[in-house]
Amino acid sequence: MVKVEFERRFLADPVFFDTIVAEPILGTKLMHIKASSKKHPKTHNVILDVHADKVIEKHSLSSSKVSACFHQESQPKELVQENGDISLLIRFAIYLSSKPPYTPVTILTTKEREQAILKNPHLEGIRSSVIVKSGTDAKMSIGVYFREYTHAKNSLR
């Protein structure tokens, strides 16, 4: 299996699954990215387990379909008291970026939710280790990483 060193990890906002369900090819690309990450094998793309539960219920998906694209991770004990989905999402992104090997995180979300995330006070002054991508920008980020994977795979032939 080819391994690629990606610049940033992906963290799924649960509403981003609306986009994945509408465009299943994104799920396929995310699956290859997750499987081929050199720094974070099988855990490159992440979703909080509490958010995964919401996705599974809303879209009637199996847990294995969500897990194929995103590693489901438990809420860290430091964040148990966090109120609000957006604050939890941002603080979890900060938490992920502060763990070795200290890879910055991209939160994947929808256009409708992007401004609410960007205006959250937890994100102030943290623009380099955590960024937010939505809509076409999110799809392009996934596409760039998928092309990196495809290029690495083809260069092994």
Q: What is the tally of helices (H) and strands (E) in the chain?
A: 7, 5
Q: What is the DSSP letter of 11?
A: E
CATH no., domain 9-155: 3.40.50
pLDDT for 58: 95
For residue 127, report the phi and psi dihedrals to the nearest 5 degrees: -70, -15
User: HSE of 2 in the Cβ direction (CA atoms, 13 Å)?
Assistant: 17
Q: What is the mean pLDDT of residues 74-91?
A: 91
pLDDT at residue 86 tops 90: yes
Model pLDDT, residue 110: 97
Q: What percent of the chain is modeled with pLDDT above 70?
A: 100
pLDDT digits (tens, 9 = 90+) for 47-57: 999 999 999 99
CB-count burial class (<10 Å; 0-12, 13-18, 19+) for 94: middle
Q: Is the pLDDT of residue 157 over 80?
A: no
**Calpha distance 35→85 (Å, rounded):** 27
In whole angstroms, what is the distance from residue 10 CA to residue 15 CA? 14
pLDDT tens, position by position, 93-137:
999 999 999 999 999 999 999 999 999 999 998 878 999 999 999
- Supply φ then ψ for residue 38, to 5 degrees: -75, -45
The pLDDT, as a whole number, for residue 46 is 98
